[in-house]
Amino acid sequence: MDFKGKVAAITGGAGGIGAALARALHARGAKVAACDLDGAAAEKTGAACGGFGMAADVSNEADVARFINAVERRLGPIDLYFSNAGVGFSDGPLWGAADAPNRVWETQWAVNVMASVYAARLVAPKMAARGAGAFVITASAAGVLHQIGDTAYSATKSAAVALAEGLAIAYGDAGVQVHCLCPQYVRTGMTKDLAAEMTGVDGMISAEEAAETTLKALEDNRFLILTHAVTGEHFMRKAGDRDRWLKGMRGLRAMLVEKLGRPF
């Protein structure tokens, strides 16, 4: 895939992985529009990357449509859509499996899953009609493995992986590239308050590294984008023997409870 002259739309573009993707795309010649709850920061990202930015709440279908319409009107048909906004494990304490309140589950469902559904309905059929385009969902390694302490995040990111698979099956033969980005720990606003005991297990990378890995996968048209090689190894072990994997995760949880000194 050649990014030169392409129109890219990125949600959650105020900072972190979204802003790094914007910069990496613009460096390759793309024009980028960004949206975020933080409209001012999204404007800054878009203005620096050949496009524009705006405030939008992607958990709201009308806001997603407003963003997509604005991109099409101001920059042209969308070649690359990155459904990247997400909420998760930094938003509260570590939760026991079903203990997070309904508002946590509902917000995560709306942002981590439905925002991509709303966008895909509007964008994917147009890409298919043109026989080209890329639709990228930022899920998480938590979607193929598990995030201890945030089952809502793990469940909604698993749903995001399933949605990406569904889109790849439905649109892959129509010339639309669908990708599912599953990072492990990346140094962003989302992970800044996480204990080193958690983020240190498999190591953290920068948002720039995550963005470069992502664009390389788009160039190679690989569906599953892993920022850490170890994610694939853990996933193979999980697929091979679920009981053994769960036992290992229980051990990891017990280690975290002891090191952090608080039960969850």
Six-digit token string for 31: 């024009």
Residues binding ligand NAD (CB under 6 A): 11-12, 14-18, 36-38, 56-59, 84-88, 111, 138, 140-141, 183, 185-186, 188-191
Q: How far is the CB of 244 from ligand NAD (least distance, A)?
A: 24
Q: Is 153 a catalytic residue?
A: yes
The dihedrals phi and psi of 31, each to the nearest 5 degrees, come to -100, 130
CA atoms within 13 A on the CB side of 148: 22
In the complex with ligand NAD, which residue's Cβ is closer, 128 or 230?
230
Q: How far is the CB of 114 from ligand NAD (least distance, A)?
A: 10
Options 118, 157, 171, 185, the catalytic residue: 157
The one-character DSSP state at 81 is E
Q: How far is the CB of 75 from ligand NAD (least distance, A)?
A: 19
In the complex with ligand NAD, which residue's Cβ is closer, 59 or 177?
59
In the complex with ligand NAD, which residue's Cβ is closer, 7 or 180?
180
Contact 146, 95 (CB under 8 A): no
Query: Coil, strand or helix: which one is 225?
Result: strand
Distance CA 194, CA 89 (A): 8
In the complex with ligand NAD, which residue's Cβ is closer, 222 or 244?
222
Q: Is 59 a catalytic residue?
A: no
DSSP codes joined into one string, 116-145: HHHHHHHHHHHHHHHT--EEEEE--HHHHS
Active site residues: 140, 153, 157
